[in-house]
Amino acid sequence: MTIPWPPLSSLIVVPALGALVCLAPWFSSKIDTKARFVRLWALGVSMLTLVILAAIARAATMSHGAVLGLEEAHQWIPSLGITYHLELDGLSFAFCLLTAIISLAVIAWSAKPASAGAGWYALLLLGEATVMGAFLATDLVLFYIFFEAMLLPVLGAMALWGGAQRLNASLKFLIYTMAGSALMFLAILYLGWTARAMGHTLDGNFAFEITTLASMKMLNPTEELVLGLAFLLAFAIKIPMVPFHGWLPDTYREAPHGVAAFTAALLGKVGIYAILRFMWPLFPTFMVQAGPYLAAAGAVAVVFGALVAMAQKDLRSLLAYSSISHLGFCVLGIAGVSTMAMTGAVFQAVSHGLITAALFLTVGAVIDRQGSRDFDRLGGLARSIPLTAFFLMVFSVAAVALPLTSSFVGEFLIIVGSWKLFPAWTTVALLGVVLGAVYTLTAYLRTMFGPLHDTDPRTGGDIRGFDVVVLAGLAAAIIALGIFPADLLGMISPAVEVNAVPSVVADSSVALGFSR
C-alpha cells in the first residue's frame, strides 16, 4: 500500500530544513540574545513532525486498520542499484513515534548549555531527521548513510557543550561506532556485488533493497556467518551489548543533559530495530544459530549492568549502567524465534526510551539545582524540590517495571516469550529485575529522603513551566502504554511476524496475533 500525502520523506525533510533555518541570521545571538525565538521555532518544527506522523498513521488506519506497508520509493543512483526507499510499518512506526516524542521533549526542556544558542536546536533537529531516516530506510546504503549521519549531532553537541572530559568521550564514541560501521559497510557492498554477480537482479545491476536481497537466498553458510557477524558487531556496539559498551559510560557522563537523554532514548534503539529489520530477513540461519549466544549476552547484560549500577556513586553513571541492564532484556527478546518475545522487545525498547529520557532530564534538573551529582553530597531533596521528587519517583517505579507502567508489559512479554527457548538465561535475567529494583529505589530514597548534606544549590526553586509539561507528558505516555498497550502491540506484532520471523523457522505456537 502507498499513500500520496503526506510523503514519508516529510518526516525527514521537515526537521532537516528546520535545522537549517535555525542557523539563519535572524536567529543569531546578536538578535535572539536568549535563544527564545529559535527555541520556539524548533518546538514548532518538532511538533509539526509529530503531527505529520500522526496524520500518516491515521490515514492508514482509517483505510486499512493498521499501519502496514506504507512506502515511498524513488530511483536515486540507478547505475549502482541504490534506491531512495522508505517504508513505514508497525515496526518502524513504533520507533518513529518514539523519536518524535523524545525530540519534542528534549527541545522543550528549558535547560541547555549556557553558551549554546541556535546551534543547539539545529543539532537536535538534525538528530531527529537522521534517526527518523534510519528507522524508515529499507535500502541498505541509504540506511547506512543515516546510521552514520546520526552520530554527527551527538558528537557535535558533546564536543561543544559537554563536560570536562568531553573530547575524550567523543573520540571513544567515534572509534567504537566507526569500527563496527566499517565492517558493516563492507558487508553491504559484498551483498550488492553478490546479487549482481549471480544475476539475481532483473537489470543485472547491484541490489541493496532489503526485500530484494532477502528473497534471493544467495548466501552459502560461510558467507552468511561472516556477513552476519559484521552486521551484528555494528548493531551490538550501537545498542550497546556487553562487552561492546565501553563508549557508553563516558558518553552519558559527559554529554549535556538533553543530548544524553536523546542518545540514551534513541541511538541504541536503532541497533535493536536494525537486527529485526535487516538481520533476520538477510541471515535467518545465522540468527537461529546465534540465538543462544544472544540470549546469554542479553541476560548477562541485565545482571552485569545492575551490579555495576549498584556500585556507582554518580547519578549519571548509575543511569548509564542501568540502561545497559534494561537493554539486555531487549537483546534477550530478539534472540529467539518468538513473536511474543520480539514484540515485547520492541515494546520494551519504546518504553525504555521514554523512561530513560525522562530520568536523564529529571536527574539533570537535580544536578543543575544542587551543583553535584555525587550521592555523598545529595540527600533530603524532597523538601526543597518536591515536584522534581514526585516525577523522579514516577519514573523510578516505571524503571523497575511496576505493573500499570509500560516497562512491565515489555518485560512480561519478553520473559514469557523467551522462557520456552531459553529458560536458563531467562531465569538469570529475572535476577536482574530484583537487582534493578534494589539500586533504583535505594538511589531514589537516598537522594530524596536521605540525610541532608551541605550543598550549594546553583539555582533556587523547583521545576516549572515547560519542564513540568514535558515530564507530565512523558509520565502520561508511560502509564498509558502500561494500561492500554493493545493498540501499539497490535501494530508491532504483525510487522514482526512479516519482517523478523522467517517462515522457514517460524514457530506459530509462540505467535501472539494481537488485533486492534
Amino acid at the residue 146: F
Could you list the residue range(s) of the whole structural domain that residue 480 is in?
290-506
pLDDT at 199: 63
Coil, strand, or helix at residue 89? coil
Unique residue bearing C-alpha cell 538469570 = 428
Q: List 82's β-bridge partners, or say none.
A: 77
Amino acid at the residue 273: Y
- List Cβ neighbours of 102 (8 Å cut-off, separation of 6 or more): 261, 262, 265, 266, 353, 354, 357
* Rounded Cα–Cα distance for residues 507 and 511 (Å): 7
Q: What is the dihedral of CA 145, 258, 343, 180, to 10 degrees?
A: 40
* Rounded Cα–Cα distance for residues 77 and 80 (Å): 6
* Rounded Cα–Cα distance for residues 168 and 173 (Å): 9
pLDDT at 515: 38
Whether a cis peptide bond, with omega within 30° of 0, leads into 243 is yes
- Residue 511 half-sphere exposure, CB side, CA atoms within 13 Å? 17
pLDDT at 2: 53
Which helix (DSSP H) or strand (DSSP E) does residue 87 occupy? Answer: strand 82-88
Q: How many secondary structure helices (H) and strands (E) does the chain include?
A: 21, 2
Whether a cis peptide bond, with omega within 30° of 0, leads into 6 is yes
Residue 128 resides in a domain: no
Radius of gyration of the chain, Cα coordinates, nearest whole angstrom? 22
Packing angle between helix 406-419 and helix 315-333, nearest 10 degrees? 40
pLDDT at 453: 66
pLDDT at 455: 55
Residue 482 resides in a domain: yes
- List Cβ neighbours of 293 (8 Å cut-off, separation of 6 or more): none
Residue 396 resides in a domain: yes
Residue 205 resides in a domain: no
Residue 48 resides in a domain: no
Residue 147 resides in a domain: no
pLDDT at 53: 94
* Domain count across the chain: 1
Ranges of residues in the chain with a pLDDT under 50 are 1, 4, 67, 503-516
- List Cβ neighbours of 3 (8 Å cut-off, separation of 6 or more): 56, 59, 60, 70
Coil, strand, or helix at residue 218? coil
Residue 87 resides in a domain: no
DSSP 442-458: HHHHHHHHS-------S
Residue 494 resides in a domain: yes
